[in-house]
Amino acid sequence: MKMKRFLVLVLAAVMVTFSLSACDSSESSNDGAKTGTNEKNVEPKTIKLEFLQQKGEEAPQTAYAQIIERFREENKNIVIEQNTIPDPGNVLISRIAANDAPPIFTDYPTQMQFKQKVKNGYIECLTGHDFLNRVNQGVLEMSKANDGKNYALPLSQNYMCIYYNMDMFNEMSIDIPVTWAELMSACQKFEQAGIQPFLLSYKDLWCLGHIFQSLAISMNDGLVEYTVDVIEGEKKVADSAGYKALAEKILEITDYGNEDALGMSANQMWDLFANGQSAMIISGSYARGTILMANPDMNLGAFPIPNDEQDKTAVLTGVDAAICISGDATPEEKEAGLKFIEFISRVENAQLWSDTDGAPSCIKGTVYKNKGVLPVIDKINEGPIHDWMASSVQNNISNDLFTSVQAMIIERDIEAFLENVDKTIGNALQ
């Protein structure tokens, strides 16, 4: 028996040492990073910085790689290592929660989740640095945290639009539709000519969510604000004429879409559209690079999702790819990170980035060169515009909402959909 007790003790001791040593090793690796200090008369040591970049597409990866290369020429002792991973948002959260935040990363400053990270001190404040003055004032205002300060450098803007095949539109002599009625009549013409008007991807919930949000915002009817009121218990979705009209529009556009929309993933949609399988798709700025990669010769155009009345059309646009520094980074890492942010915010570098990535830059003095997308960019500059839902609605509620939309598309029952949304929001708030 004594032997048994002794063994248990030994085992416990070994386990404790094991876990302690795990802590030790992580600390010592931090120490390793701290040694990059500049002492007088000593060559500055090279410091390596991980840069977790949330965009997996090839275009932004190349754009960042180019900037990093230029940066390296100017700062020989700072090595920035771009890291791109699948499912970056979730990985970033897990790493932050595990005290393993990358020193520099990109994030979405207008989203509620970002503001939560700021509140917990996970992200370094950037207000007071001169490079912020290079950013468009409107975008800078939009990306402020709750305390009125900026925690990220907004580099580019994203948007939702209808991408169209310019050649197909030219062949059928169809102009860019500027009202919903014109869009529907264009769909009808394509259908009569045996061309699939729309390809839709309802399989991936996020993609369905983007289509839903962009349609909601194009209506310019305060639907996002209404949803916030519903969450606060002041209103009911079932009473909303706007929600009903939106649901009708979704079903209308679904009728002009592919039969297998619920089985089609976003990637399949981009791929088939790029290869001439439909005249239009509803997608975001993020899709442009992928579509052109699938078919580099395609004449790709984009226009805003039209409202019933032309001058009321609003565009869904938000701050994309904003760069921030971890609050847990060492002083040396922070200093190097700030240098990198300053570098990328210079007009010539922002221009290079925007040219490669394909998204419009937020830096003053840059020029947007993609002619096909100009109808959307002009509309964004002209307004009205609206931010993504994630800036005002919690993720769990919007996910439930999109799931209800998916069910409505299957069952085609608008009344049930409206009631279902009220019910799921009620459940989520319990």
Partner 1 sequence: MFYLKGKIDTNKLIYFMFSLPALLLYSFFYIYSVICGIYYSMTDWNGIDISYNIIGLDNFRRLLTDERFWNSLSITVYYAAALVVIVISAALAMALILDSLVRFKTFFKSIFFFPAMLSSVTVALIWDQLFFRAIPVIGKGLGIGLLSQSPLASTKTALNAVILVNSWQAIALPIVIFVAGLQTIPKEIYEASSIDGANSFQRFRYITLPYLIPTLTVNFVLTLKSGLTVFDYVYAMTNGGPAKATEIISVLIYKHGFQEMRFALANAEAVILFIIIATLSYIQIKISGKGGVISE
Cis (ω within 30 of 0) for the bond into 384?
yes
Instruction: Determine the size of the site formed for partner 1 (CB under 8 A).
Output: 43
35 vs 94, beta carbon nearer partner 1: 94
Q: Of 229, 403, 414, 419, which lies in the binding site for partner 1, with binding defined by CB under 8 A? A: 403
**Which residue, 96 or 174, has its beta carbon nearer to partner 1?**
96
Q: How far is the CB of 50 from partner 1 (least distance, A)?
A: 20
Q: Interacting stretch for partner 1, rule CB under 8 A, among 257-265, 278-286, 338-346, 370-378?
A: 257-265
Provide the mask over 66-95, with x wherever binding to partner 1 is found by CB under 8 A and - wherever it is not.
Answer: ------------------------x--xx-
Q: Considering only residues 176, 262, 347, 414, which one is a binding residue for partner 1 as defined by CB under 8 A?
A: 262
Q: Which is nearer to partner 1, 84 or 394 (CB)?
A: 394
Stretch that binds partner 1, among 66-74, 172-180, 240-248, 392-400 (CB under 8 A): 392-400
Measured from the CB atom, the residue of 140 and 397 that comes closer to partner 1 is: 397
What residues between 263 and 302 interact with partner 1 by CB under 8 A? 263-265, 268
CB of 269 to partner 1, least distance (A): 11
Contacts (CB under 8 A) with partner 1, residues 106-125: 113, 116-117, 119-122
Contact call for residues 166 and 303 (beta carbons, < 8 A)? no
Q: How far apart are CA 230 and CA 204, in angstroms?
A: 25
Task: Give the per-residue contact string, 120-149, with partner 1 (x = CB under 8 A; - = no).
Answer: xxx---------------------------
Nearer to partner 1, 221 or 271 (CB): 271
Q: Is 427 left (phi over 0), alpha (psi -120 to 50) or beta?
A: alpha
Q: From the list 234, 259, 296, 371, which residue makes contact with partner 1 (rule: CB under 8 A)?
A: 259
Count CA atoms closer than 13 A to 102's CA, side-chain side: 24
From candidates 189, 203, 236, 312, binder to partner 1 by CB under 8 A: 203
Give yes or no for residue 407 binding partner 1 (CB under 8 A): yes
- CA–CA gap between residue 200 and residue 193 (Å, rounded): 19
Q: Does 175 bind partner 1 (CB under 8 A)?
A: no
Given a contact cutoff of 8 angstroms between Cβ atoms, the answer to whether 315 and 161 are in contact is yes
The footprint of partner 1 on residues 2-21 (CB under 8 A) is: 3-4, 7, 11, 14-15, 18-19
Q: Is 396 in the site for partner 1 (CB under 8 A)?
A: yes
- Out of 29, 41, 192, 430, the only residue in the binding site for partner 1 (CB under 8 A) is 430
Q: Which residue ranges make up the site for partner 1 (CB under 8 A)?
A: 3-4, 7, 11, 14-15, 18-19, 90, 93-94, 96-97, 113, 116-117, 119-122, 202-205, 259-265, 268, 394-396, 399, 403-404, 406-407, 410, 427, 430
